[in-house]
Amino acid sequence: MRQRSSAIGATSSLKVWFQRFSFVLLTIAAFGVLLIGKADTVMLSRLRIWVADSIGPVIHVVSAPVETARETASDVQSYFSLKQQVEVLLRENQALKDWEQQARNLQAENESLRALLKMAPSPRVSFISAPVIADASSGFVRGVIALAGRQHGVVKGQAAMVGNGMVGRVQDVGDRVSRIMLLTDINSRLPILIERTRDQAVLAGNNSDQPDINYLPRDADVKVGDHVVTSGIGGAFPPGLPVGEVAEIVDGKTYVQPFADLGRLEFIRMVDYGLPGVLREDLGIDSLSQQFAKPRAAPVQLPKPAKPAATQPKLKPAEGSNR
């Protein structure tokens, strides 16, 4: 009994002593670890690797459920997102099918009307694409130089197009290059049509980025955002070529922003619609008069009167004949 009580007393005294000097002991232990690390870095490195090797599998096992849960949450989110996208695509697909059916009906109706009216077929369209090699703009003109000319089939007056709209027309043609007059050139005039209101007018360049509309009817209900296309008036270009949209209306002036970025032209398509129209005088030809003019009759030459035959002079009688 006495031994047990003495052991308990020693343990309690040791516990009290440890509590009193625990800070000092921990500080000494920390210094000891630092000294061991400084003394033998190889051993400390091996100890770190051993600890990492021991804890690595445990960390992997513990993190596996967390990673699985994260992937599951991501898959669920992707599923709902894909479901919404599929619903949107289904609606768009149905709308496109409806538009396709309407387009087929309009095509059949158009063909029937053409057959009823006996309309002449549209002329065959040919085009030449060429890179833009120079900017020919200055303070008074707006134009570019394209690497295609007369030897490639380019003709003065052809429409200059890019993928999203019209940029101008061919103004001058050389053997290997052509000069394109842009819509913004102050000399450019283009018959146009407001697509929504069907009002006809003329798009006039003003050497700025936005040409303005002239000769609009007074009762025209033009609004910002209305699309502008060629009207086909004058026969220079066919109707319906995209030109631009109404950008702003200031002080009664209507300005149009071309669909094509005229400041960043890289390639131009020069299209021949076979419609010289009002440009035939500028081209120096009159195709209509050449086509329908009758050949002039050669002037009738009247036969020249024949010269009278030379007469023999009468011989005077001899003096001795009357004898």
Task: Give the mean pLDDT of the chain.
Answer: 78
Q: Domain ranges in the chain?
A: 40-121, 126-283
Q: Is the pLDDT of residue 295 over 50?
A: no
Least confident of 64-78, 165-179, 189-203: 64-78
Choose among 228, 232, 201: nearest CA to 217: 201
Q: Which of 94-108, 137-151, 290-304 has the lowest mean pLDDT?
A: 290-304
The whole-number average pLDDT for the span 242-252 is: 93
Quick check: helix, strand or coil at residue 33? helix
pLDDT average, residue stretch 258-271: 92
Most confident of 81-95, 132-146, 205-219: 205-219
Nearest-angstrom CA–CA distance, 23 and 15: 14
pTM, full prediction: 0.53
Contacts with 191 (C-beta within 8 Å, 6 or more apart), sequence order: 200, 201, 202, 203, 230, 231, 232, 233, 234, 236, 237
**H helix and E strand count, the chain:** 4, 12
Distances (CA, A) of 292 to 13, 286, 287: 133, 10, 9
Look at residue 298 and tell me whether its pLDDT is greater than 60: no
The highest-confidence range among 63-67, 77-81, 298-302, by mean pLDDT, is: 77-81
User: What phi and psi values does residue 297 have, to the nearest 5 degrees?
Assistant: -75, 140
From residue 86, alpha-carbon distances to 73, 77, 82, 299 in Å are 20, 14, 6, 82
Task: Determine contact, residues 280/236, Cβ cutoff 8 Å.
Answer: no
C-beta of residue 127 within 8 angstroms of C-beta of residue 270? yes
Tokens representing residue 252 in the block? 């009664």
Amino acid at 21: F
Instruction: Extract the tokens encoding 56.
Output: 């690595």
**How many CB atoms sit inside 10 A of residue 51's CB?**
10
Sequence-ordered strand ranges (E) for the chain: 126-135, 143-146, 159-162, 165-173, 178-182, 189-194, 200-204, 212-214, 227-230, 242-250, 253-258, 267-272
Instruction: Judge whether residue 261 has pLDDT over 80.
Output: yes
For 12-19, which contacts have Cβ atoms below 8 Å and span 24 or more sequence positions?
none
Lowest mean pLDDT among 196-200, 261-265, 304-308: 304-308
CATH class of 126-283: mainly beta
CA dihedral sign of residues 32, 38, 39, 44:
positive
Give the model's pLDDT for residue 287.
Answer: 41
Mean of pLDDT values over 169-183: 93
**Of all residues in the chain, what percent carry a pLDDT higher than 90?**
37
Let me know: does 242 contact 256? Beta carbons within 8 Å: no
Angle at 35 (CA atoms; ends 30, 36), nearest 5 degrees: 100
pLDDT in tens, 115-174: 777 766 666 788 899 999 998 888 788 999 999 999 999 999 999 999 889 999 999 999
Q: What are phi and psi of 146, to 5 degrees?
A: -110, 145
d(CA 121, CA 45): 89
